Amino acid sequence: MGVAAPVLLVLLRFTQGIGLGGEWGGAALLATEHAPPGKRGFYAMFPQLGPSVGFIAANGLFLILGAVLTDEQFVSWGWRLPFVASLLLVVIGLYVRLKISETPVFQAAMDERKIAKVPFVGLMRHQWRRVLLGAGAMVITYTLFYTATTYCLSYGTATLGIPRTTMLALTMIGVLFMAAGTVVSSLVSDRLGRRRTLIAGTGVAIAWGLVMFPLMQTASVPLVGLALSGALALMGLIFGPMGAFLPELFRTEYRYSGASVAYSLGGVLGGAVPPLIATQMQAGGLGVFSVGVYVSAMAVLSLLCLLALPETGEESM
C-alpha cells in the first residue's frame, strides 16, 4: 500500500484515542457515581482492570496462534484472527451503551440545572490546575507500563538475545502482577485514602527505576522477569486508585471532561514519549541505566503533582 499504510495506521490510532478518551472517563464516572459511600475505590477498580485483561487476552491469543500455526500461515492470515474476534466485543460494547442510564449524581445535577453547556470551557476556566496536576500524577503509570512492555520487549530480544516468546511470556506474568496491584491498591485506597496510597506507590517507583535495568542487564530470565513484574506491579498499584481519584478531583459539571483530559494527557506524556526517549538515550551512548533514571524522574514528577493535590477519598460527589 506504500505511504497509505502509515497514514491509515495513524488515522486508526487517532480514532482509538478519541474512543479511549470518552470510554475511560465514562466508565470511571459510572463506577464512582454509582458507588455507595466508602466503596468508590472498589467500584472504580473494574475499569482499571481493563489494560490487564486486554493485554493478557490479546497477547495470549497471539502466543497461541504462534504456537499452532506455521510462520507462513501466521504472516499470511493468522494475525488477522484476533482482530476479527474483537468484532464481538464491539457488539457487546454497543449493546451496553444503548442500555445504560445516567448516574444518580449526574441526574441530580441535571434536575438542579447545574450542567455546563460547554464543559471543557468551564473546566479550563475554573479547574485547569487540577487537570494539569492530575495529568502529571498519571504520567508514571504509563511510563512504567510502556517502558516495561514496549521498550523492554525490544531491548530484551534485540540486545539481550532473549527469545521473543520468552519475553512475551515474562511480560504476561508481569501483567498478572499488575492486575493484582490494581485490585490491592483500589481496596486499600478506600481505607487509607486515595492520595496516601498513590504517594506510597509512586515513592517506591522512584527507587524501582534505578533497580530495574541493572536487573535487566543480567540477561537472566528470572531476574528479567523480576524487573518486569516489579515495574508492572507498581504500575497497577498506582493505576488502581486513579479510577476514583481523577473523577473525585472535579466538580460534577466538569467531571467527565476533567477526568478524561487529565487521563489522556497523562497517557500521552507517559506512554508515547518514554519509548522514544529511551531508544534515543541508548543509541546516544548514555547506556540503558539512563532509561531507569528517566523512569525515576517521571516518578518524581508524579509525586510532586500528587503532593500538590488534595485527598479526595472522603469527599462527597
pLDDT number for residue 106: 66
pLDDT number for residue 114: 65
The answer to whether residue 313 sits within a structural domain is no
Q: Which residues of the chain have pLDDT under 50?
A: none
Q: CA-CA distance, 213 to 102, in Å (whole number)?
A: 46
The answer to whether residue 131 sits within a structural domain is yes
Task: Please tell me the total count of domains within the chain.
Answer: 1
Domain that holds residue 186: 4-307
Write the CATH number for 112. Answer: 1.20.1250.20
pLDDT, mean over the chain: 88
pLDDT number for residue 184: 97
Determine contact, residues 164/154, Cβ cutoff 8 Å: no
pLDDT number for residue 309: 95
pLDDT number for residue 141: 95
pLDDT number for residue 276: 77
The answer to whether residue 113 sits within a structural domain is yes
pLDDT number for residue 105: 67
The answer to whether residue 217 sits within a structural domain is yes
Angle at 48 between CA 168 and CA 227, to 5 degrees: 35
The answer to whether residue 197 sits within a structural domain is yes
Q: CA-CA distance, 136 to 117, in Å (whole number)?
A: 27
Determine contact, residues 244/225, Cβ cutoff 8 Å: no
The answer to whether residue 315 sits within a structural domain is no
pLDDT number for residue 66: 80
Other C-beta atoms within 10 Å of 42: how many? 19
Question: What is the DSSP code (8-state) at residue 17?
Answer: H
Question: What is the DSSP code (8-state) at residue 115?
Answer: -
Determine contact, residues 292/212, Cβ cutoff 8 Å: yes
The answer to whether residue 316 sits within a structural domain is no
Q: What cell numbers appear for 92 in the block? A: 457487546
Altogether, the residues listed in the chain come to a count of: 317
Question: For the CA atoms of 64, 66, 67, 69, what is the dihedral angle to 10 degrees?
Answer: 110
Secondary structure of 198-264 in the HEC alphabet? HHHHHHHHHHHHHHHHHHHHCCCHHHHHHHHHHHHHHHHHHHHHHHHHHHHCCCHHHHHHHHHHHHH
Other C-beta atoms within 10 Å of 119: how many? 17
Angle at 205 between CA 290 and CA 177, to 5 degrees: 115
Q: CA-CA distance, 299 to 302, in Å (whole number)?
A: 5
Q: CA-CA distance, 260 to 24, in Å (whole number)?
A: 7
What's this model's pTM, rounded to 2 decimal places? Answer: 0.86
Q: How far is CA 143 from CA 82, 108, 255, 309, in A?
A: 26, 38, 25, 20
The answer to whether residue 317 sits within a structural domain is no
